[in-house]
Structures are given as structure tokens and as C-alpha cells.
Chains A and B, each alone.
Chain A
Amino acid sequence: MTSLSPDCNELKKQYDDCFNKWYANKFLQGDTTPECEDLFKLYRACIWRAIKEKNLDQLISDARKEKPFSGPEDTRTGET
């Protein structure tokens, strides 16, 4: 799946491939040691650059304040 910005597509693909393998082979079997941190850091830096360029960062910041969803209990319907 493409990223918001074509510049981030390659970094996103590398991270996604790593995550998908880790998710199926480690996380689901009970091993929660993260493995894709370095790839995620690179990809995340790219995507947040793109978000600022498209002026979406304020919208995201507002949404995070309105509905922080800090824990699964925050996802009950009707609660904000």
C-alpha cells in the first residue's frame, strides 16, 4: 500500500515487511521483543515530514487531544 508521500514508499515497504514477519512469527507466539525499531524510526521521520508538508499535523494533534485512546478501555462506544 502506498504511503501518503511517494518519497516514503520504500521506507514504508521495508518497515511493513519487517513488521508483518515479526507479527506472524514472534508477536503472535508470545515473543513481544520489538525487532523493527530502526526501520520504523526511518519511516516515521519520513511520514511526519510529509504530514507537516500537507498541514495535517494540526488535525492529528487536535484529534489526539479530543480522543487520546490511551488504553483499550477508552474505545467503549459513546465515551470520548
Chain B
Amino acid sequence: MTFMESQYLFAHPFGTLTSANWRKYPNEYSSHVLSVDILSRCIDPQTGVLRTERLLSIKQSAPAIVRKLLPIPEVSYFREVSFLDPKERTYKAVSNNLSMRSIVDVEETCEFKADPQKPDGGTVFNQRAEVKVFGALNYVARMLEEAAVNSFKANAAKGRQGLETVVDMVLNEAKTVEAGLKEGYEAGIEGLRKGTVGV
């Protein structure tokens, strides 16, 4: 079993980041993600926690040597289950591969937590990926696991960049709405003054 773990601090509040996370795909850094669908979604009546189950399809980018050794399909599917607690401001998502389960077990865990040091801004992001390759000689298994984990490492930075671009989009949208509201409000005040807008 091989794994990678990383921690990163986003300079955005939990609400903004999780909003962007739901809208993360497509983005220019994540062309390998082909589709995202919601399989189920519900809110726990007692805790208020939002549970979401998603299906993702990913374009396979295994290195050539790996494709020579294993029958890897062009598209692989992942199932992700996440729990979002709006009161505690925590989010945890675990994804597992649905395809090729007899060959490999991949589990990725992503967590967002409002930064305890900065209650009004900043979110801690933890990411962990575990890869287990089955039924192969030890040396080959290790090599394949390394290749998979390296792929994760390369994608982790892209994933964060992708999320940042979506955060920018979300913030710009909010600014446009605010500007539009402000314009409308000022036009309304002008209208009231001139008597063109009646109360």
C-alpha cells in the first residue's frame, strides 16, 4: 500500500470554498474529469449534515508501461460520498474506484475545515490518497502504486489551482450581482427624487 498526504491553507472562508467545490468542474486544470453526477443527496434531520453521493468518470492517464501490464480501460469511474456540516463548518469526502476493483483499490479523502486560528476566513484543506495493487508480484505492485500516487501528487496541485479559479468565478459573480443591485438601488433613488418612480 502506498499513499500520499498533503495539507494546504486556502485564504478563503469555508462557505466560499465549499460553494466553489460544488461547482469545481469543469475547470481548465481538470480536463481529466469527464462527468460528475449526483446519485443521492439528503440532510440528516437530527444533525443538519448534508450527505451527498456522487459518480465521477475520469479519463485514464496511466503511464504507457502500466497500460502494457494491465487491462486499463479508457474511462474509469469513482464513487464519492461526502458529509458537510454547516454548523461545525467541516466537509469530508471519500472516493473509491468503481472500475478495476479486482486489480486496484484507490481511496482518496478530502477534507475542508474552517481554520480554527481564523474563525472568519481561511480554510484548511487535507488530502490523502491510498493505493493498493492486488495480484501482482511485490516489485511490480510497488511500481504501479508509485505511479498511481505520483499521478495523485501531480493532480493535487492542479486540483487546488482548479478550485482557486472557480472561487474567483464565484466571487466575481457575487461582485457583479452586488454592482447590479447597487446600480438598481441608485437608479431607484434618482427616480424617487425626480418623481419618475412612485412609492
Q: Which of B73-107 contact A (CB under 8 A)?
A: 77, 79, 81, 83, 85-87, 92, 94, 96, 98-99, 101
A62 to B97, CA, bound (A): 12
Are A23 and B19 in contact, with the CB atoms below 8 A?
Answer: yes
Q: How far is the CB of A21 from chain B (nearest CB, A)?
A: 10
The stretch among B36-44, B64-72, B139-147, B149-157 that forms the contact with chain A is B36-44
Are B55 and A4 in contact, with the CB atoms below 8 A?
Answer: yes
Question: In chain A, what residue has the closest Cβ to B14?
Answer: A28
Q: How would you classify the secondary structure of chain A's contact residues: helix, strand, loop or mixed?
A: helix
**Contact among B38, B81, B96, B98 with A43 in the assembled complex (CB-CB below 8 Å):** B38
Interface size on A, residues (CB 8 A): 34
Contacts of A12 in B (CB 8 A): 37
A47 to B35, CA, bound (A): 11
Are B92 and A72 in contact, with the CB atoms below 8 A?
Answer: yes
Are A59 and B99 in contact, with the CB atoms below 8 A?
Answer: yes
Q: How far is the CB of B169 from chain A (nearest CB, A)?
A: 11
1/0 contact trace for A26-67 toward B, CB 8 Å? 011010101000001001100110010000100110110001
Are B22 and A75 in contact, with the CB atoms below 8 A?
Answer: no
Q: Is B34 an interface residue (CB 8 A)?
A: yes
Q: Is B160 an interface residue (CB 8 A)?
A: no
The winner among B15, B37, B101, B128 for most chain A CB atoms within 10 A is B37
Are A72 and B35 in contact, with the CB atoms below 8 A?
Answer: no
Q: Is B182 an interface residue (CB 8 A)?
A: no
Q: How far is the CB of A32 from chain B (nearest CB, A)?
A: 5
Given known A-B contacts A40-B41, A63-B79, A72-B92, A56 and B26 have beta carbons under 8 A apart? no
Contacts of A40 in B (CB 8 A): 38, 41
Contacts of B49 in A (CB 8 A): 72
Q: How far is the CB of B94 from chain A (nearest CB, A)?
A: 5
Binding site for B on A (CB under 8 A): 1-4, 8, 12, 15-16, 19-20, 23-24, 27-28, 30, 32, 34, 40, 43-44, 47-48, 51, 56, 59-60, 62-63, 67, 69, 71-72, 75, 77
12 inter-chain pairs at a CB distance below 8 angstroms, sorted by A residue, are: A4-B37, A4-B57, A24-B15, A28-B86, A43-B38, A44-B40, A51-B55, A59-B77, A67-B81, A71-B83, A75-B83, A77-B109
